[in-house]
Amino acid sequence: MKLAIVGCGSRHSMFRDSVSQDYPDQHEIVAMCDNNPHRLDLAAQAAARAGTNGIATYDASAFDAMIAEQKPDTVVITTPDFLHADYIVRAFEAGCDVICEKPMTIDLSSLKQITEAQKRTGRQVRVTFNYRYSPARTQIKDILASGTIGEVTAVDFRWHLDRVHGADYFRRWHRQKENSGGLLVHKSTHHFDLLNWWLGSTPTKVTATGRRAFYRPQTAIDMGLEARGPRCATCKVANKCDFELNLDEDAALRALYREAEHEDGYFRDLCVFDEDIGIEDTMQAHITYGSGATANYTLTAYSPWEGLEIRFQGTRGELIHKHVEVHGVFGGERAHAGKEAVWTEVHLAGKAPEQIEVPVAEGHHGGADPVMLGYIFDPDNMEPDRYNRASDHVAGGWSILTGIAANLSIETGATVDVQTMLDTRGITLE
């Protein structure tokens, strides 16, 4: 397979390195495309094969020329979220399939563009929901599908982002909804996809609330940071701030962003307490599914720890799963949890709770990334996927619709009927 990559920020490296290091004899990166020459050059150097002339590079404005000249089979899209749909549609129209970083897109108009282009061209997009491939999450799918706890009637799902990971969304492009759809789309697309997949169903109604409770100017004042600046690099009180991001102290961030600022003026270290941030940091949604199950979902971006807690209520009992990814930040150090911080419990009516041994694997996202990349780049040597974890435009669409409906509910204060929302815009997911 010949691949072209558009978007050379941090997210593209997973795909670049997998092709160039793990599957170099099966696939080839023939071109890369970005609007920042510095990052584009770094990416091309990292992916170049020894003994070759390197990889063809193109400015973002020459995307169509890249496709025409290099003739890739597949385009990998790892740009900011609001650009996904445009590149997906253009790749489809040029006869290419697509591998797209989540979320597939951020709003209804661009979702319609993708679905119509897919129907028109017959091309395919694979949305990389790596959480589906984690052994622990796959085990949950197994338990639920087996009927162990009976029919699932209700779910409580809480996702915690700590004050390192969570804060990062408020200092870069994600912090405006027109770029990312907000965390209910950008981040929660993972979580809503898991719920759709676990339950084997899709949302019908969504009611949500959300606000920016922590990453706001008043918090900075309460911390004694009245004299804060617009970005960490030039802030007079950065040394007093627990949220300082020093790009010069991190070699990767310095090379990828600090040394690239002169090309496009993009700053990776904006103040997380800025007044003009347009996304929420505290969100809750009540979701009704076609199966009849309901879910309460909570996402916070300033928790003292990072991970997830989920509880499935069933007609025969309940299933509980918790994964502590980061215990917290102590003395400036982020204390990552070990494998022992994942546990699953089944409690059937009339029986004592039973701890279930959770499978573990090496690699990012709980061992999910190597498995997912294997199915993408080396499917013939993988076991048949009886869990149907590959995600197309339909799964990609349903994963963002909960978040889009939640954003609309926050805006209007009303419960949103998902099918009505789709019908009024002429969107069909099939």
Residues 177-204 as b or e (16 or more Cβ within 10 Å = b)? bebbbbbbbbbbbbbbbbbbbbbebbbb
Amino acid at residue number 118: Q
pLDDT for the residue 423: 98
The domain spans of the chain are 131-214+277-423, 224-264
Residues 166-206 pLDDT 10s:
999 999 999 999 999 999 999 999 999 999 999 999 999 99
The two structure tokens encoding residue 127 = 């949305």
Superfamily of chain region 131-214+277-423: Dihydrodipicolinate Reductase; domain 2 (3.30.360.10)
- What is the residue whose two structure tokens read 């039973």? 354
Query: Are 345 and 319 within 8 A, CB to CB?
Result: yes
Query: Are 210 and 284 within 8 A, CB to CB?
Result: yes
- 7 half-sphere exposure, CB direction, 13 A CA radius: 22
pLDDT for the residue 86: 98
Residues 131-164 pLDDT 10s:
999 999 999 999 999 999 999 999 999 999 999 9
| Mean pLDDT computed over every residue of the chain | 96
If pLDDT is split at 50, 70 and 90, which confidence band does 101 have? very high
User: How far is 132 from 192, CA to CA, in rounded Å?
Assistant: 11
